[in-house]
């Protein structure tokens, strides 16, 4: 077997703890890869809270698609979406990063992306917004939306 790994055979993922970029060979994605810097599991299947600094690593520089939930602690529909997003993160850990941006704490990010209502979900692929959805969704609707957007 050829041990050489080509760039197309790997995904670039931001570590959920230290936000370093980690190259993960696709063939090893299900083996719970660890960050060489901080030893955290990089494809943990748990939503990651982002701020201005960590947003760039996850949504702009990583090649793994990132679903960002723009939310606020006082928002009822946002709280209803939380378990749906937790399940989505757990079900798709090697295909998608789920991230959360608290719009009360990260007002510059919310303004940068024109967030007018919450929850708003934005799906990024390689630094580009590829889909956006405002309002709460159930798990089945979210899954269909993601499948369509990711092709």
Q: How confident is the model at residue 5 (pLDDT cuts 50, 70, 90)?
A: very low
Q: What per-residue confidence (pLDDT) applies to 8?
A: 59
> What's the pLDDT tens digit per position in 53-72?
999 999 999 999 999 999 99
DSSP 8: G
**Is the residue at 90 inside a domain?**
yes
**Is the residue at 98 inside a domain?**
yes
Domain of 110 in residue numbering reads as: 45-150
**Is the residue at 37 inside a domain?**
no
Q: What percent of the chain has pLDDT over 90?
A: 89
> What's the pLDDT tens digit per position in 6-37?
445 899 999 999 999 999 998 888 899 999 99
> What's the pLDDT tens digit per position in 34-46?
999 999 999 999 9
**Is the residue at 24 inside a domain?**
no
* Active site (annotated) includes residue 78: yes
Catalytic residue among 15, 18, 38, 78: 78
**Is the residue at 129 inside a domain?**
yes
Which of 150 and 6 is assigned the larger pLDDT?
Answer: 150
* Active site (annotated) includes residue 75: yes
**Is the residue at 52 inside a domain?**
yes
**Is the residue at 32 inside a domain?**
no
**Is the residue at 38 inside a domain?**
no
**Residue 103 is part of a domain; what is its CATH number?**
3.40.30.10
Contacts of 80 (CB under 8 A, 6+ apart): 136
- Total number of domains constituting the chain: 1
Catalytic residue among 15, 18, 38, 75: 75
């Amino acid at each position: 077997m050829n041990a050489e790994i080509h760039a197309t055979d790997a995904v670039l993922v931001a570590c959920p703890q230290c936000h370093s970029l980690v190259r993960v060979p696709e063939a090893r994605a299900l083996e719970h890869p660890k960050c060489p810097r901080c030893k955290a599991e990089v494809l943990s299947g748990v939503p990651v809270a982002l701020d201005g600094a960590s947003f760039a690593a996850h949504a702009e520089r990583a090649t793994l698609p990132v679903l960002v939930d723009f939310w606020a602690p006082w928002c009822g529909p946002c709280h209803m979406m939380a378990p749906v997003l937790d399940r989505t993160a757990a079900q798709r850990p090697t295909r998608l990063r789920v991230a959360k941006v608290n719009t009360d704490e990260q007002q510059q990010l919310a303004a940068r992306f024109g967030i007018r209502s919450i929850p708003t979900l934005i799906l990024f692929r390689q630094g580009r917004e590829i889909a956006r959805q405002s309002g709460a969704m159930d798990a089945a609707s979210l899954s269909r939306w993601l499948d369509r957007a990711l092709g």
